[in-house]
Structure 1
Amino acid sequence: MPFSEFVRVAPELGLDRLFDYRIPEGLRGNIRLGQRLRVPWGRREILAYAVEFPRQPEVENVRDVAAVAGERPLIPPGLCQLARWMGDYYACDLAAALRTILPGPVRSHEGGGKVAWWISPVAGKKDLAAKVLQTARVQAKAWAFLQDRGGAWLNVLVRESGFGTAVWKALVDRGLAERSERRLVKDEEGPEEGWTDAGKKPELGEEQAAAMEAWEQERKKEGGGRPVLLEGVTGSGKTEIYLRALEAVLAEGKNAVVLVPEISLTPQTVARFRGRLAGQRVRLCVLHSAQTVAERRESWHEIREGRARVVIGARSALFAPLEHLGLIVVDEEHDGGYKQGESPRYHARDLAVVRGRIEGASVILGSATPSLESAHNADRDRYLRVRLRKRVDGAKLPKVHIVDLRKEERPKAGGPVMLSGVLRQALEERRKKAEQSLLLLNRRGYAPSVQCPHCGRVEECERCAVPMTYHRSVGRMKCHFCDAERP
């Protein structure tokens, strides 16, 4: 813990600069990196975050820090470094990067969940208990119950023991039990719900075993080694590699983040990971922007206080306040959903690699079709490329037929060919067998372009120089590149 005389802070005002304050003697040694502070700002006080401890301030006259907001830093040191990297690389102010890392529900309400009392027995009080509880039989029974339990929430003790609140308060007053105020997050009153039988692990195929061996060797290197680009065809067992890697880092007492490109994919991923981790009784937490304000706040504090060790979610889950991070998995790393559209316009895949380097965590990037950036980094030996060419259990990939519609016979009434003869025949065969078929359209909108029938002019986006797509439901043309609209 630094004993500096000065602290440099990023105020929650969206300003593109940092400010220096003097740390009063009573607070020296109590302010850490990422700590939330109250600092004077004109005639009022504002919230700011400690981001640096300079030896000397940049200006002569500095004011004192007013107070420390919260017992512990809201932002772990690793995320503070990541915020500084974001500010430098994405050309945004540090305060904006910190606001991205720290969710709004946490900034607006520091506490997570409701406050409740935790009752625990005081050690070394058996002789005192035997003396003072001779005539208080109910309290004696409650004391024995608490000794066996070892500590619990007050409402849980009342419910399970049958003794009222006054009995437990009497034990506290007698010095036999101690009472502490804690935040109570969802599902913490009782045992963890949702545990399922993990079942037998599937045996690894030859390629999977080789992939695990390559990952194990790489992560033993300094700083967690290079990111691993796990390139595997659909159904090749990439998820099993993720799970095995996760189990390995959990066994070492480290934590992990698993990113999926879309929020809609989170439930099925959570179900599979939760089922696999059931035997280890590891708490898994979900974190994404579609949660309610209360859910996000509770999840964030559950992670920050160390109750959850595995975090699954979309790109914002990368900023989960985990310490002792051992693994970051980015599934479908090529997906455009990892790109943030609003400022700061970060890419979660790239930030995952940076955070892994900062915290010495292993990073796995999984995809059947790696992005050009990741493939280039693998070609230049910056990433370790591991390939899974075969599907699990020898399953074959579906056959793909490419049909040239220009060679199809055109309708007698004229117009374009909508369905090829091969497709119509396949659909008819499925219909006769009472089977289902699924047709996917490779476009959005009613018409891919709008053309003048007289001069042939095609309406184009002024910024992107591509045809505007006509959406009949709203009666407007839209650009699918920059999202510009036009009547």
Structure 2
Amino acid sequence: MPIPQPTNAPAPGQSDLFGLPAVVPATPQPDTTRIARVQLEGAAAMELDYTIPASLAEGVVVGSRVMVPLQNRQMVAVVLELLNESSHRGRLKEISSIVARRPMFTPALLRLARWIADYYLVSVHTVLRTMLPQAVRDKPGSFVMDSHLKLLRDPSPAELEKLMNKAPMQARVLEILRSCQGEATLSQIRRDVPRAATILKPLIKAGWITRSEVRVERDPFQEEVFLPSQPLTLTAEQQVAYDRISAAIDSAQPSKPILLHGITGSGKTEVYLQAIARVLERGGTALVLVPEIALTPQTIERFKARFSDRSDRIAVLHSHLSDGERHDEWFKIHEDRADIVIGARSAIFAPLERLGIIIVDEEHEPSFKQDETPRYHARDVAVVRGGIEKCVVLLGSATPSLESFENAGSGKYELLEMLQRTDGRTLPLIRIVDMRMERRKGTGVSIVNAGILSEKLRAAITARLEKREQTILFLNRRGFNTSLSCITCGETVQCQDCSIPMTLHKHENRLVCHVCGSRRLPPSKCPSCQEPGLKFSGFGTERVETAVREVFPQARIARVDTDTIQRKNQLRDLLRDFRAQKLDLLIGTQMIAKGLDFPNVTLVGVLNADLALNLPDFRAAERTLQLLVQVAGRAGRGEVKGEVVVQTYAPHSPAVQFSRHNDFAGFAQQELEQRRAFHYPPYTHVVILASRGKHQAMAEFALKTLHRRLLEGLSEEVLMGDPAPCAMAKAHGQYRFQLLLRTPKIRPLCRHIQQVLQSTSLPADVIVTWDVDPVSLL
């Protein structure tokens, strides 16, 4: 998919490359009646003009959040532009106050917001709400305060003894302060002296200590200790990549986005670390995006260890933080107290200034795509922000998305490759097991017949346990059994609100829908024919854990999926136990499939490798190959050569065969030829229009109406299908239909869609959504 590349910022009054007016602060004028164009937040999402009173003239700048009057109410708004004139001059109200003295949005982020709004067909108001975490938006400045105590003079032994006899608790406070080099917080004192607040008064009056209020950071890693690490010696391939990235960092001219295609274990993270060090030397800041929460603890550990001298200037943003932690981490960035930001998708909006580099690790991951409005892709937004900020954008992956790979091949991106593992380590040996043949063997072992563990995988696990080496088993499906069907009529028990089979979770004896989350007891009779013969089939990670514990009762086993990871830091602690070799075998979903580095893992078993191959999505083969290569890359990262056993019912699939030989380039060439022939990305853009509603006929009618209206004036370049039920025809009690459009030029199509949506009246109980450049057609 061609991704637009921003150029230098336009001069004031000009439009930028994306057809949007440049957000440039106007030159300050002494006139106190200057005007601010603001974007209202809340339900009344409009752009309005207000005059700036003289008392606020210096504080109101582009990006400020302000309070403005609207119909006898006070509303929060964001200043988009400063103007000298307005067509409504003389009728304008004044801005009431400023929410925060420091602007909440930089001019670059406002330009980015306009681009996102234009490209993804949403309002600027919606984008600005997304850019600010809710904890910051709702309660800005809600910091935790504590008292800072300082010892003014050190008591002599005689004074301390006298005070001990007269007021032992006061003496204890002085002893604690002495042990803390004369300074401590009230919360620290309270650990030993519960009524410390009242005991402090006579000490302050006597001139022993002073007390002042300080802000306490809610740091999610304040209890952690990180041992410093030193830069590693780069391999020849790493050095070439680093030199080119450094040249781009040092260059005064904006560079193309750089795609770093490095196989698993080739040392991409070390290149990231040294590139960031280069940026910090030049006084810049760095933004690192990772796709999975599971990767965040290990990534943070590496960064805190490498940049130990400034570990307090590393900020973290992801959804597993508490509201308070996210609030404080965001303000840490906002107040320029952070040089490095690490986070998931939404961290792309971190208010960093002096950006020197944006790194998107595992850039191919679909989790970088937001599945709610605005449906932005963080990787593409990173490319655009890099162009606006004139900084280096580094996309890294062992299995790049075909969009990025084609952009590199066509010259839009610069391609750097690292095709050798560090320290001369070899890629793991990958063995393909045809599970059709396993079933025909009839060995009599129930677990083998169930299709969970092949004989080859079971023998390999046994060998690893004997050698005290570790194993990872991967299956991207939760639960015990994946379906329950009637042996008489063949009916499958489905969720009443979603058109998918319900999954048995045995530990709670419930059938669970993995879409809407509804739960019910397993029926004793078929809901359709009322016959008692019901059969469970399929398996998920819960069933795999039960089977593995049965076969290997002596093994120390843990399971990682959203059913087992419930409390905060549980995943971090479990992965640390696995790294410390307190566990022998780890079973999990895609939470453990990528990015993690465990040197003692020498075996990876992939169960049901072709699970996603038959999905009705043109990216099914690409996703399967990416997942297989990423999972296989967890093996053999230490001194011992690794082995991967891939169990599949489609051993001759190109995705399986190319992953076996780690031949991403060969797969990409074959897949891209098919994409070109059938007009799919990266050679076209895709837009999905979808309708959903409780009444099937109305949802279908709405989409057919849009289809008919879209045909009027539609460019001949656009390929538009017919309205059809989604692959999951019903979800959350609503019927779903979709319309697929493909075009080589996205903007004219988006404008046409926007005009049709604005001019078409749709049923009130039907919701219509649109997704530009979707990553899934399901």
TM-score where L is the length of structure 1: 0.78
Q: How does 1:377-396 map to 2 (within 5 A)?
A: 377-396=407-426
Q: Which residue of 2 aligns with 1:146?
A: none
Give the alignment partner of residue 100 of structure 1, picking from 130, 137, 141: 130
Q: Which residue of 2 aligns with 1:9?
A: 38
Q: Which residue of 1 aligns with 2:245?
A: 215
Following TM superposition, by how much is the alpha carbon of 1:30 offset from its aligned partner in structure 2, in angstroms? 3.4
Q: How does 1:292-307 map to 2 (within 5 A)?
A: 292-307=322-337
8 Å contact from structure 1 (residues 34, 73) kept in 2: yes
Letter in 2 for 1:249: V
Structure 2 residue matching 1:253: 3-state secondary structure: coil
Q: Which residue of 2 aligns with 1:78?
A: 108
Structure 2 residue matching 1:86: 3-state secondary structure: helix
Q: Which residue of 1 aligns with 2:371?
A: 341
Q: Which residue of 2 aligns with 1:228?
A: 258
| 2:501 maps to 1:472 | no
Following TM superposition, by how much is the alpha carbon of 1:236 offset from its aligned partner in structure 2, in angstroms? 0.6
| 2:460 maps to 1:426 | yes
24-33 or 311-320, which deviates more: 24-33
Following TM superposition, by how much is the alpha carbon of 1:36 offset from its aligned partner in structure 2, in angstroms? 1.1
222-231 or 279-288, which deviates more: 279-288
Give the alignment partner of residue 43 of structure 1, picking from 63, 67, 72: 72
TM-score where L is the length of structure 2: 0.50
Cα distance between partner residues in 2 of 1:320 and 1:166:
45
1:225–1:392 Cα change, 3 Å: same
Following TM superposition, by how much is the alpha carbon of 1:391 offset from its aligned partner in structure 2, in angstroms? 0.5
8 Å contact from structure 2 (residues 304, 311) kept in 1: no
Residues 434-481 of structure 1 show CA distances to partners (whole Å, capped at 9, x for unaligned) of 6554433343455556666567677999999xx834312342555697
1:352–1:426 Cα change, 3 Å: same
Q: How does 1:252-291 map to 2 (within 5 A)?
A: 252-279=282-309, 283-291=313-321
1:118–1:6 Cα change, 3 Å: farther
1:187–1:445 Cα change, 3 Å: closer
8 Å contact from structure 1 (residues 185, 298) kept in 2: no
Q: Which residue of 2 aligns with 1:249?
A: 279
1:453–1:316 Cα change, 3 Å: same
Structure 2 residue matching 1:46: 3-state secondary structure: strand
Count of residue pairs the alignment pairs up: 440
Residues 21-65 of structure 1 show CA distances to partners (whole Å, capped at 9, x for unaligned) of 122344334321111111111011111010123454354632222
Residues 181-200 of structure 1 show CA distances to partners (whole Å, capped at 9, x for unaligned) of 99624289xxx996755343
8 Å contact from structure 2 (residues 249, 357) kept in 1: no
8 Å contact from structure 1 (residues 287, 313) kept in 2: yes
Cα distance between partner residues in 2 of 1:114 and 1:311:
22
Cα distance between partner residues in 1 of 2:69 and 2:93:
7
Cα distance between partner residues in 2 of 1:78 and 1:153:
41
Cα distance between partner residues in 2 of 1:10 and 1:167:
54
8 Å contact from structure 2 (residues 495, 502) kept in 1: no
8 Å contact from structure 1 (residues 111, 183) kept in 2: no
8 Å contact from structure 2 (residues 359, 393) kept in 1: yes
1:227–1:424 Cα change, 3 Å: same
275-284 or 312-321, which deviates more: 275-284
Give the alignment partner of residue 477 of structure 2, picking from 432, 438, 443: 443
Q: Which residue of 2 aligns with 1:204?
A: 234
| 2:50 maps to 1:21 | yes
1:461–1:57 Cα change, 3 Å: farther
Gaps of 5+ in 2: 1-24, 150-181, 190-201, 516-614, 616-726, 734-778
Residues 389-441 of structure 1 show CA distances to partners (whole Å, capped at 9, x for unaligned) of 00110011111111222334332779665543433443444455565544333
Q: Which residue of 1 aligns with 2:61?
A: 32
1:58–1:461 Cα change, 3 Å: farther
Give the alignment partner of residue 410 of structure 1, picking from 437, 441, 448: 441
Q: Which residue of 1 aligns with 2:143?
A: 113
26-35 or 446-455, which deviates more: 446-455
Cα distance between partner residues in 2 of 1:432 and 1:321:
51
Residues 288-309 of structure 1 show CA distances to partners (whole Å, capped at 9, x for unaligned) of 2221222111111111111111
Gaps of 5+ in 1: 120-151, 172-178
Following TM superposition, by how much is the alpha carbon of 1:67 offset from its aligned partner in structure 2, in angstroms? 2.2
1:182–1:433 Cα change, 3 Å: closer
Cα distance between partner residues in 1 of 2:391 and 2:497:
41
Letter in 2 for 1:350: D
Letter in 2 for 1:272: R
Cα distance between partner residues in 1 of 2:205 and 2:389:
48
8 Å contact from structure 1 (residues 195, 274) kept in 2: no
| 2:401 maps to 1:367 | no
Cα distance between partner residues in 2 of 1:397 and 1:67:
61
Q: How does 1:115-154 map to 2 (within 5 A)?
A: none
Q: Which residue of 2 aligns with 1:69?
A: 99
Identity %: 39
Q: How does 1:348-359 map to 2 (within 5 A)?
A: 348-359=378-389
